[in-house]
């Protein structure tokens, strides 16, 4: 047990694969952590769901794993702060009971209903001119036609599950549902509610619901939660939860923030234009900016940050680390008649070793990582992944390296888009998330991006650190100006000019693959959906 005068925070990072919880000091030092895997239910019509009860039970399990080690006195734990996957929807009744599985950020079943509410006589990119103008002017963006935003989930429930819609007291983002379980209070932060596209974000210091936007969305205002800031104290931990965990009854629960915003804080990139690239199940490249702006063609906007009074560049790639999981579970260790052994626990280190044996460029083979559609810089729910330009000499080692490179190519496409958005070159990029633990992948990104890559120390802990920093600020232990100094850089990766020249050519062909096959993806996958 540590013996000092520090106070501690239990921080939650609920990702798609499950919750990672950590015990973090008010100075940002991670003392211990635990992870429990959760199930993802993919449905044939574009559905993607998870069980909110499993979320909760897994979070409590991770808390108990940490607390049972008794690394710190339980009375020194003063707060709980949560970060979760964003753009998910949990319908709950007045008692806080969820009425169905959560529709998560991968779920696209609401696409047709978003198109219905966004139609008009004169259109721009499929949106009625007057409607898109109002959305962009007030919110900074608009509901994606991919159907993966929170508002699309609510519209799907309204149209396909009217019984659930009628019984719903509040629609909550995953973070706000976990906060409900912790405190019994229904609330959302101004950053978590953004992808409902019903808030006026023009005054970053005073974000409110807008009745005109709510009418456009065709939903009911009273089904939306009260709004707070990410650094607000929501309330004390419920007595029964505190008793189960053996914590003091006055532990405060902080509002917290979704994963994209938490990562920005946890990366240490709290200054304007200080970029980070996150690789988890999905990925994103973002930075804080001092302006509100929207790029409708690339699906990029500046939206409310977790830091009050600040905007950040919002975007997301659908599948990044998930591509390695796909390679592991669906190709190399798929449970079928050909499986001759168990997947080794260090499989990702083995993947790194395999990739490191293959020259840059994978002998001309390209992997496209669009395994579940894409958001940015493409908004295309029909695009799909694949290996291109294989030969009789292609091996599994080539496939592994091609997957790592393919995710990096897509990241470079996003880097280009973000740099056009902010109108400046981002000379260095902080790398965080589980994928950033790979030295090989960090070097590939440095070579593909042609940028200096700063591998943040303990990169997989960025989100829990971000959540913990919010609690430290909320309780007065630090300010946001202190955050950058509290985050250490582990290693720096510099571009290899020879590799960069090769990757420049490969990247051009990567984009051509999409441009030349976009219509084929649409025909193949819209037909498939019709026939299921």
Q: For the residues of 465-523, what is the DSSP string, one character each?
A: HHHHHHHHHHTTS--GGGHHHHS-EEEEE---HHHHHHHHHHHHHHHHHHHHHHHHHHH
Q: Does the CA dihedral 260-383-441-302 come out positive or negative? A: negative
| pLDDT attached to residue 378 | 82
Tell me phi and psi for residue 95, to 5 degrees. Answer: -90, 0
Return d(Cα 237, Cα 239) in angstroms, integer.
Answer: 6
The position carrying tokens 């629960």 is: 253
| pLDDT attached to residue 124 | 85
**Using an 8 Å Cβ cutoff, are 360 and 499 in contact?**
yes
**Using an 8 Å Cβ cutoff, are 11 and 81 in contact?**
yes
Distance of CA 431 to the CA centre of its chain: 14
Q: How many distinct helices (H) and strands (E) make up the chain?
A: 16, 28
**Using an 8 Å Cβ cutoff, are 142 and 135 in contact?**
yes
CA angle 377, 380, 384 (to 5 degrees): 100
H helices of 357-496, in order, are 396-422, 439-449, 462-474, 483-486
**Strand, coil or helix: what is 157?**
helix
**Radius of gyration, alpha carbons of the chain:** 22
Return d(Cα 396, Cα 219) in angstroms, integer.
Answer: 49
Return d(Cα 227, Cα 188) in angstroms, integer.
Answer: 5
Structure tokens at 481: 């100006």
Return d(Cα 209, Cα 103) in angstroms, integer.
Answer: 23
Return d(Cα 514, Cα 422) in angstroms, integer.
Answer: 25
| pLDDT attached to residue 527 | 58
The angle, 0 to 180 degrees and rounded to 10, between the axes of the packed helices 396-422 and 439-449 is 50
Average pLDDT by stretches of 10, the chain with 532 residues:
74 96 97 97 94 98 98 97 97 98 96 95 89 96 92 98 98 98 98 97 97 98 98 98 97 97 96 96 94 88 96 90 95 89 93 98 97 84 94 97 98 95 97 96 98 96 97 97 95 98 98 95 75 42
Return d(Cα 353, Cα 330) in angstroms, integer.
Answer: 20
| pLDDT attached to residue 381 | 83
**Using an 8 Å Cβ cutoff, are 297 and 125 in contact?**
yes
Q: What length does the chain have? A: 532
Tell me phi and psi for residue 380, to 5 degrees. Answer: -150, 105
| pLDDT attached to residue 257 | 98
| pLDDT attached to residue 243 | 97
| pLDDT attached to residue 531 | 42
| pLDDT attached to residue 373 | 87
Give me the domains of the chain, ranges plus CATH numbers: 8-291+459-490 (3.30.420.40)
């Amino acid at each position: 047990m540590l013996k000092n005068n520090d106070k501690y925070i239990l921080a939650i990072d609920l990702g798609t694969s499950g919750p990672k919880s950590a015990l973090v000091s008010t100075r940002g030092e991670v003392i211990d952590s635990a992870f429990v895997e959760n199930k993802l239910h993919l449905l044939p019509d574009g559905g993607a769901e998870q069980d909110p009860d499993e979320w909760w039970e897994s979070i409590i399990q991770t808390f108990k794993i940490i607390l049972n080690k008794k690394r710190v006195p339980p009375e020194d734990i003063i707060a709980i702060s949560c970060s979760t996957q964003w753009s998910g929807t949990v319908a709950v009744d007045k008692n806080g009971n969820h009425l169905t599985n959560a529709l998560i950020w991968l779920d696209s079943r609401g696409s047709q209903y978003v198109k219905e509410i966004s139609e008009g006589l004169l259109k721009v990119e499929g949106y009625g001119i007057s409607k898109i103008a109002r959305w962009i002017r007030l919110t900074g963006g608009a509901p994606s036609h991919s159907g993966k935003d929170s508002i699309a989930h609510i519209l799907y429930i309204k149209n396909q599950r009217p019984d659930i819609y009628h019984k719903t007291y509040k629609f909550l983002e995953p973070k706000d549902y976990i906060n409900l379980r912790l405190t019994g209070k229904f609330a959302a932060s101004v950053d978590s509610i953004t992808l409902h596209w019903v808030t006026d974000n023009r005054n970053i210091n005073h974000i409110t619901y807008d009745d005109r936007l709510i009418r456009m969305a065709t939903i009911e205002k009273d089904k939306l939660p009260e709004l707070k800031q990410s650094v607000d104290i929501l309330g004390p931990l419920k007595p029964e939860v505190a008793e189960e965990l053996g914590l003091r009854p006055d532990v405060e629960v902080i509002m917290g923030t979704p994963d994209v915003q938490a990562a920005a804080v946890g990366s240490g990139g709290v200054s304007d234009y200080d970029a980070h690239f996150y690789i988890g199940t999905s990925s994103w490249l973002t930075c804080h900016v001092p302006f509100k702006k929207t790029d409708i063609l690339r699906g990029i906007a500046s939206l409310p940050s977790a830091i009050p009074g600040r905007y950040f560049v919002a975007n997301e790639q659908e599948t990044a680390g998930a591509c390695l999981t796909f390679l592991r579970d669906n190709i190399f260790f798929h449970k079928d008649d050909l499986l001759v052994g168990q997947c080794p626990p260090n499989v990702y280190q083995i993947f790194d070793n395999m990739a490191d044996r293959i020259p840059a460029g994978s002998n001309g083979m390209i992997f496209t990582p669009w395994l579940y559609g894409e958001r940015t810089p493409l908004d295309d729910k029909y695009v799909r992944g694949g290996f291109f330009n294989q030969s009789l000499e292609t091996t599994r080692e080539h496939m592994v390296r091609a997957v790592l490179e393919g995710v990096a190519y897509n990241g470079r496409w996003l880097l280009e888009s973000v740099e056009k958005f902010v109108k400046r070159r981002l000379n260095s990029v902080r790398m965080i998330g589980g994928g950033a633990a790979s030295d090989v992948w960090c070097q590939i990104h440095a070579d593909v991006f042609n940028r200096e890559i700063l591998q943040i120390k303990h990169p997989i802990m960025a989100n829990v650190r971000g959540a913990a920093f919010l609690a430290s600020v909320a309780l007065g232990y630090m300010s946001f100006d202190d955050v950058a100094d509290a985050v250490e850089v582990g290693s720096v990766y510099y571009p290899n000019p020879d590799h960069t020249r090769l990757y420049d050519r490969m990247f051009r062909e990567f984009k051509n693959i999409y441009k030349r096959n976009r219509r084929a993806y649409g025909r193949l996958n819209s037909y498939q959906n019709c026939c299921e």
